[in-house]
Amino acid sequence: MSIERKMLRVLKGEAVSPPPIWMMRQAGRYLPEYREARKTAGSFLDLCYNPDFAVEVTLQPIRRFGFDASILFSDILVIPHALGRDLRFEEGRGPLMTPIEADEIERLDPSRIHEHLAPVYETVRRLRAELPAETTLIGFCGAPWTVATYMIAGHGTPDQAPARLFAYRHPTEMRTLLDLLADCSADYLIRQIEAGADCVQIFDSWSGVLDEASFHAYCVRPVQRIVGKVRKTYPDVPIIGFPKGAGAQYEGYRNITGVTALGLDWSVPWNQAKRLQAEGPVQGNLDPLRLVAGGWALDEGVKRILSELSDGPFIFNLGHGITPQTPIAHVERMIELVRGTAG
């Protein structure tokens, strides 16, 4: 008997009722069991690189909520880390790196990235073996632009001004960096698929800060490069692109990059979301703060999304990652609403 993975049916273009549901950052600090595992593991990177811990925290939200998909627990910055850049995480500050200089880019060495990332591939293999057969396993990477912003600034910034300025001052070096990150990321995704990932997602969390020309050069072109490389090895594996904050520039993104589905952030208007869905599967797009608030705000948000998008190929998700202060009861309510089991 064939295994039915609802999310893969949607990614093939089918409308499924009720739609499959998962959450970005679904393994994370809003769960008490995650916080316990994090405490035991030590550093955040120890959590990412130790398959015992990474498998455990990836499985936690599946055990608790029964989501239709599970996403590998890791971080988008493991690629620059594998390229030899320093990386650490501080509570309240997030990821911290030594900012890269223009003349250092050509010296980045990708020859040992798979050796460095071997624990991640082991995690994927173990997850596919341990997850319920009907649960879709999602691999992922950060998009080159978003990863580059952290490498250049050394930390997160409100508008990624350091990376934008770097790109204007050093366009050749910026292109070299983005091409290298695209090639490494494509290889990384290919290895995740080999290990058992059913589909992959490319997170471009900072695409919304760029003007039109820069969006095409720094977001679209590198993702197109990743997709092309992955497709040569795995032509039929679905790829979800999530250019958060892209606004009007969502239009045409799928056709140019070649991604299978679009992740929509919560700011996308309904008329635009429906146009994008007419071209293929979409995923999203509840405002994470509606999930924090609960009550009428949550109910209204979920019901509106379902009424607007459920007739086409659609995966229910948030418009960005779940926040640490989210009450578990609100997640349970959201799932009940999506699956039609709410009282």
Question: Which residue numbers are catalytic?
Answer: 25, 29, 38, 75, 150
Which of 224, 225, 234, 229 minimizes the C-alpha distance to 199? 234
Alpha helices in the chain (DSSP H): 6-11, 32-41, 44-49, 51-65, 78-82, 113-116, 118-130, 144-153, 161-169, 171-195, 212-214, 221-233, 253-257, 270-278, 288-293, 295-309, 328-339
* Cα atoms in the Cβ-side hemisphere of radius 13 Å centred on 241: 30
- Measure the CA–CA gap between 158 and 4, rounded to whole angstroms: 42
Type of residue found at 43 = S
Q: Find all residues with CB under 8 Å of 223, minimum gap 6, and list them.
A: 143, 144, 182, 202, 204, 241, 243, 257, 259
- Measure the CA–CA gap between 216 and 253, rounded to whole angstroms: 9
- Measure the CA–CA gap between 248 and 212, rounded to whole angstroms: 10
Residue with tokens 């405002």: 287
- Measure the CA–CA gap between 178 and 237, rounded to whole angstroms: 23
Give the angle subtended at the CA of 65 by the CAs of 63 and 69, to the nearest 5°.
85
